[in-house]
Amino acid sequence: MTKAALLLAPALFLIGGSALAQTPPPAPPAAAQPQDGAGGLVVDVEGGVSAPMPIAIPTMPTAAVVETAAGTTDVLGRQLSDIIANDLRNSGLFTPIPPAQLRTVSVPEVTAPAFDYWSGTGAQSLVQGYVRANGDGTLTVGCYLYDVTARTELTRQGFVVPPAEWRRAGHKCADSIYARLTGEGPYFDSRVIYVSETGPKAHRIKRLAIMDQDGANHRFLTNGQSIVLTPRFAPNQQSIVYMSYLGNRPSIYVYDIGSGKQRLVVQNASLTFAPRFSPDGRYILFSMAQNGNTDIYRVSSQGGAPQRLTDSPGIDTGGSYSPDGSRIVFESDRSGGQQIYVMNADGSNQHRISFGGGRYATPVWSPRGDLIAFTRIAGSFRIGTMSPSGGGEKLLTNQWQDEGPSWSPNGRVITFYRSGRGSSGKADLWMVDLTGRVERKIPTPLDGSDPAWGPLRP
């Protein structure tokens, strides 16, 4: 969808259903401002010193206070504004003005902002919206973005959500604002799967857990009886591939999120690990150790006989597909220590791309295709990025032990886990953006490791 289309023909998106792009427009139409989508207000995501943009996000009004399964529409309006403000603040690119400092907005005002007032708040941009309970039990959330200085509308969207998914309307609204002002792809309406940890360091209890990208809707998927490691989403987000010590046989499993059922991927193997789906979901890339030698294989995600892709006498592991599925980045110690290599999807043309000091591990290909994220081991563990040809290495974090990067759906943010030293050293989930300046801990109920960021939700 182009920006011009958004400006001229506001559409209603159905969330949690099968279709989108419903009519009519979300609110009484305002005159669309003819504007060049590339001009006006822009947030610089690459630049060096630009301060976060001040943005006003007043509480979303409701024309009629109605009780819904998600709560009353007036309370939902406040909560949705908070979700949008949190998402934008967490990106590091925006400074939301505290809602307590902002006036109350009426429903008619949503499409006709009081620009004289807003320009006095210091906000450069303004997000207004409304909440409406529909007769069929769903909620409609309108979302409007204005340039306060130019006094123009920048985007408008409406979202229809079932009550159970009301938070997604806030994330979708924040995504449309982020995308419009940065020119980058959206990423707030997405989930993270990770390993929740608790207990003493010598005997950590590990459980699979899934949550929204902002930590909401947290839920455990396994009960901690077996060690579980390295979960990763299927592209359709309906299943997860991960490693479990179930029955004391460390192996990779595919876990169906909806049914809670799982199946062993490779039968009769001594040790299978480091699984990851191909971008089309047809294959699972994984590592298998046999008699002390580890190589990379791929297997149909339906099961069957694995196909071997590497045959070096060293440890080849940590494979990750390029977004077009044509290449695989992996790590190997065939040169003496862990380094990053790229090969074609059939295993041909294996060549090394990392040559710096220390060791390089856990390479993951960005969903944009332009970068490889990795863990660099040189005394400490640091998260970094390099191009698929090995150039432009950049280290983003600098703590004792940061490991296991995973990309946001738009390739702008990396989640990873950070471990502390010693017997009380625990692991937590973190995010860092590509500049390395915006770094943030993700709140989780217990400790956390092995985060994997899922794709944008449909």
Partner 1 sequence: MKAKTLMLAATALVALAGCSKKRPEMLPPAPGVAPTVGDANAGYGDQGNGAATPGSNADFVRSVQSNTINFGLDQYDIDPTARAILDSQVEWLTRYPNVSVTVEGHCDERGTREYNLALGDRRANAAKNYLVARGLDASRIRTISYGKERPVALGSDEGSWAQNRRAVTVVLDR
The contact set with partner 1 (CB under 8 A) reads: 200-204, 222-223, 225, 227, 229-230, 246-251, 259-264, 270-271, 273-274, 287, 289, 291-294, 315, 317-318, 331, 333, 337-338, 361-362, 375, 377, 381, 400-401, 403-404, 419, 421-423, 425, 449-450
What is the CB neighbour count within 10 angstroms for residue 327? 17
Q: Among residues 205 and 438, whose Cβ is nearest to partner 1?
A: 205
Give me the least distance between CB of 132 and partner 1, in Å please. Answer: 38
Give me the least distance between CB of 421 and partner 1, in Å please. Answer: 4
Alpha-carbon separation of residue 4 from 9, 96, 144 (angstroms)? 8, 26, 15
Amino acid letter for position 289: A
Cα gap 81→83, rounded to integer Å: 5
Q: Are 453 and 190 in contact (CB under 8 A)?
A: yes
Give me the least distance between CB of 438 and partner 1, in Å please. Answer: 24
Give me the least distance between CB of 389 and partner 1, in Å please. Answer: 23
Cα gap 447→427, rounded to integer Å: 6
Cα gap 206→377, rounded to integer Å: 25
Q: Among residues 97 and 342, whose Cβ is nearest to partner 1?
A: 342
Give me the least distance between CB of 434 and partner 1, in Å please. Answer: 21
Q: Among residues 233 and 374, whose Cβ is nearest to partner 1?
A: 374
Give me the least distance between CB of 244 and partner 1, in Å please. Answer: 10
Q: Among residues 263 and 282, whose Cβ is nearest to partner 1?
A: 263
Q: Among residues 377 and 438, whose Cβ is nearest to partner 1?
A: 377
Q: Are 147 and 139 in contact (CB under 8 A)?
A: no
| Helix, coil or strand: residue 84 | helix
DSSP per position, 265-318: SSTT-SEEEEEEE-TTSSEEEEEEEETTEEEEEEEETT----EE----SSBEEE
Q: Among residues 122 and 199, whose Cβ is nearest to partner 1?
A: 199
Alpha-carbon separation of residue 304 from 135, 237, 265 (angstroms)? 49, 22, 8
Give me the least distance between CB of 264 and partner 1, in Å please. Answer: 5
DSSP 215: S
Give me the least distance between CB of 251 and partner 1, in Å please. Answer: 8
Nearest to 178 by CA among 129, 233, 125: 125
What residues contact residue 417 under an 8 Å CB cut-off, 6+ apart? 194, 402, 403, 404, 427, 428, 429, 430, 448, 449, 450, 451
| Helix, coil or strand: residue 391 | coil
Q: Among residues 166 and 273, whose Cβ is nearest to partner 1?
A: 273
Q: Among residues 39 and 260, whose Cβ is nearest to partner 1?
A: 260
